[in-house]
Amino acid sequence: MSTAAVEDTARTGVRPAARPSDEAAERGSADVVVVGAGPAGASAAYWLATAGLDVALLEKTSFPREKVCGDGLTPRGTRALLDMGVDVSERAGWLHNRGLRVIGGGQRLHLEWPELTSFPSYGLVRPRADLDALLADRAVRAGARLYERWTVTEPVRTAAGRVVGVRGRTADRRPVEFRAPLVLSCEGVSGKVAQALGVHRNDRRPLGVAVRRYYTSPRTHDDYLESWLELWDGKPNDSALLPGYGWIFGMGDGTVNAGLGVLNSSAGFGRTDYRALLTRWLDNTPEEWGLREPNATCPTRGAALPMGFNRTPHYLDGLLLVGDAGGSVNPFNGEGIPYAMESGKFAAEAVVRALGRPEGPAREFALRAYPRRMQQEWGAYYRLGGVFVKQIG
């Protein structure tokens, strides 16, 4: 992308048709580099740019792109979107829901989202391909510079070990480099930049695997997100009961998103064919729902769910871990998007304060407020979630 195109993108908020892969490092510097433009990275970039900082948002793919997800958002996720100024009305393509339908132990409960001052009273459904593109556009409209098809390979570090940028390559494999006083790792479960600093996943913390598939189904219109608390490895009451959950979310477009999540506290974790497990589980649903192979609209896809802060510290030597990179998925229900977006906002707030101070102890103190905030918000809750995961295993 030319310098003029970069400036035009920042001014208008509209990305040019040509992808900014070939000349991504023309400018080569920013106030902050954000690696990964998913919900965590887009949220962080939005709040940083809103505060007036020059933000380089680096994304290894291009939008729209597919991500494994249930596509359902609780009121917590709705609030995060509203905070970013996203139009979540039904006329804008969002499907609203009233609450959660919980199925288990022969019971079927309908739990309405509560009326609270801190959260909206409705949840949402939207394909992740749409959601991620919308959030990235919000960041761009706020002033962030988005570079797509830009793969980060390693951090740039000083002789003292401090992170001062990243190296990578463009779609045509040209090596490039971006410098910034601070880097946010929002790259998901891989945490490549964090691993380069020796910050690896804690295997004692919860980890889940989720798989999902779309089916054409008469259940496409549903006022509730449906969660199945019993995940049988075959016929109910005549097979193993796995530590996990299933879901069936109507998409409102003629299809449903059906999937399951399994936790690493199960004896067979890592050795189970989760795609086959999804098929076996759905075979137990009523045939008229249509959740069978002939009605599938895509292959079954899976992804890891890094839970309970399973990669810490969340700040180290100029690098902040945000969203899935820092294991922010809720171990109780596998919900990740709201926590990724909120952690992006927390990180942005710490960075804005830090860059308003001179380099040295004052700046470091401001940056360390980020991991403290993460612990204050969810630390005890996630530790309890870790106990919960072990017990149900």
pLDDT tens digit string along 358-372?
999 999 999 999 999
Exposure string over 87-117, b if 16+ CB within 10 A, otherwise e: ebeeeeebbbbbbbbbbeeeeeeeeebeeee
The average pLDDT across 332-357 equals 96
Q: Using pLDDT thresholds of 50, 70 and 90, give the confidence band for residue 387.
A: confident
pLDDT of residue 3: 39
Provide φ and ψ at 2, rounded to 5°: -70, 165
The model's pLDDT over 179-208, given as tens digits with 9 standing for 90+, comes to 999 999 999 988 889 999 999 989 888 898
Tokens encoding 339: 């926590």
Of the ranges 27-36, 134-143, 186-195, the best mean pLDDT one: 134-143
- Is residue 262 predicted with pLDDT exceeding 90? no
pLDDT(317) > 80: yes
Cα–Cα distances in Å, from 348 out to 145, 157, 299, 328, 367?
A: 16, 21, 37, 16, 10
| pLDDT for residue 83 is more than 50 | yes
Residue 114: pLDDT band with limits 50, 70, 90: very high
Does residue 380 surpass a pLDDT of 90? Answer: yes
d(CA 337, CA 331): 13
Mean pLDDT for all residues in the chain: 90
- In the block, tokens 């977006």 appear at 341
Q: Which residue has the higher pLDDT, 190 or 217?
A: 217
Q: What domains, with CATH codes, occur in the chain?
A: 3-66+130-202+308-392 (3.50.50.60), 98-125+207-306 (3.30.9.100)
pLDDT grade for 269, boundaries at 50, 70 and 90:
confident
Pairing of strands 175-179, 123-125: unpaired
- The DSSP result for 33-55, as a single string, is EEE--SHHHHHHHHHHHHTT--E
Residue 316 corresponds to which amino acid?
L
Q: Which of 152, 111, 67, 116 is nearest to 336 (CA)?
A: 67
pLDDT of residue 185: 97
Give yes or no for residue 14 having a pLDDT over 50: no
CB atoms within 10 A of CB 215: 24
pLDDT in tens, 155-176: 999 999 999 999 999 998 999 9
Q: Which amino acid, one-letter code, is at 68?
A: V
- Report which residue type is found at 218: P
Give the per-residue pLDDT at 27: 52
Rounding to the nearest 10 degrees, give the CA dihedral for residues 262, 264, 267, 273: 50
Rounded to whole angstroms, the Cα distance separating 328 from 385 reads 12
Query: What is the spatial distance between Cα 173 and Cα 152, in angstroms, rounded to a whole number?
Result: 11
Q: Is 32 helix (H, G, I), strand (E, B) or coil?
A: strand
Cα gap 35→322, rounded to integer Å: 10
Q: What is the pLDDT of residue 240?
A: 81
